Amino acid sequence: MKVLIIDNETPIRVALHEMLLAYCPEITHIKEASDIKTGIDTIGWFNPDILFLDVELDEGTGFDLLSQLPAYTFQLIFITAHDKYAINAFRFSAMDFLLKPIDPDDLMHSVGRAIKNIQSDPSKQMAFLLEQVKSKHEPPKKIILKDMHKTYYVRIEEILFLEAEGIYTKFNLMGNQQIMVSKNLKEYESMLEPLGFVRTHHSFLVNPEKIKMFDKSEGGMLVLEDGNQIPVSQRKRDLVLKALEH
């Protein structure tokens, strides 16, 4: 398995290189680059299986590098500091990323996911990500969801509600479609709350645009456009009422 690290900070490249050798025995060849031009050239002749790409490079960004590539034949893992716009784009695009300083456990999990997905074509996902980055000051219109077999490109407006299923989250969409993903509801709450979604209960996150009625009897129940009924916990009642005022 071949890995290319593109980062303008030498200590980061060296540390990541050493961690890959120490914790990821599947990795057999590692190359490094520090800038966009060298990175593009190295991708061309080295043909890596996995690319670790820093968001901030000296003469541009990792996104600038990606936009200059004719094709994507590698699994991509971003390296970033706490850049909220970039992280938001990664999360809505279901793109893997590591925060600096890199944690060895996070690294091993990311490499494991990349190896598992090595046969998949990331082109559509990359295009989605670059579009997200380009319109970073606009609310996301879509989100990428992955289950064990497929990747879904879902419009935010198609989401009715999310339901916690242990460590998983079930997306309930218009047209009676359901998608189960292996992330917990709390993670999606932090992504979708800025778009107006409301946590009505410890197990439910609701798109307020799909609420038809709030039945205040028996503790409180939301009735959605499709007829689904969503419970409202006592401690979430005021929050829900406030959201419905807008």
Residue 143 has a pLDDT of: 97
Q: Residue 3: which of 21, 27, 19 has the closest Cα?
A: 27
More confident residue, 243 or 69: 69
Q: Please give the radius of gyration of the chain, using alpha carbons only, rounded to the nearest integer.
A: 21
Residue 52 has a pLDDT of: 98
Is residue 9 predicted with pLDDT exceeding 80? yes
Q: What's the DSSP call for residue 48? A: -
Mean model confidence pLDDT for the chain: 93
Fold annotation for 156-244: OB fold (Dihydrolipoamide Acetyltransferase, E2P) (2.40.50)
Where does the pLDDT of residue 236 fall: very low under 50, low under 70, confident under 90, or very high at 90 and above?
confident
> What mean pLDDT comes out for the span 106-116?
95
Residue 3 has a pLDDT of: 98
Q: What predicted TM-score, i.e. pTM, was given to this entire model?
A: 0.87
Residue 246 has a pLDDT of: 66
Structural tokens at position 60:
């541009």
> What mean pLDDT comes out for the span 1-22?
97
> What mean pLDDT comes out for the span 18-39?
97
Helices vs. strands in the chain: H and E counts, helices first: 8, 17
> What mean pLDDT comes out for the span 224-235?
91
Residue 210: how many CB atoms within 10 A of its CB? 19
Is residue 244 predicted with pLDDT exceeding 80? no
Structural tokens at position 10:
């030498």
- Give start-end residues of each CATH 3.40.50.2300 domain in the chain: 2-134
Residue 134 has a pLDDT of: 85
CATH label, 2-134, candidates 3.90.1170.50, 3.40.228.10, 3.90.420.10, 3.40.50.2300: 3.40.50.2300
Say how far apart CA 163 and CA 200 lie, in whole Å.
11
Residue 104 has a pLDDT of: 96
- Give start-end residues of each CATH 2.40.50.1020 domain in the chain: 156-244
Largest CA distance in the chain: 67
Where does the pLDDT of residue 29 fall: very low under 50, low under 70, confident under 90, or very high at 90 and above?
very high
User: How many residues appear in the chain?
Assistant: 246
Q: In the beta sheet, which residues pair with residue 167?
A: none
What ranges make up the beta strands (E) of 100-197?
Answer: 142-146, 151-155, 159-165, 168-173, 177-181
Q: Which of 137-141, 218-222, 226-230 has the lowest mean pLDDT?
A: 218-222
Say how far apart CA 219 and CA 202 lie, in whole Å.
15
| pLDDT tens profile 41-67 | 999 999 999 999 999 999 999 999 999
Residue 62 has a pLDDT of: 95
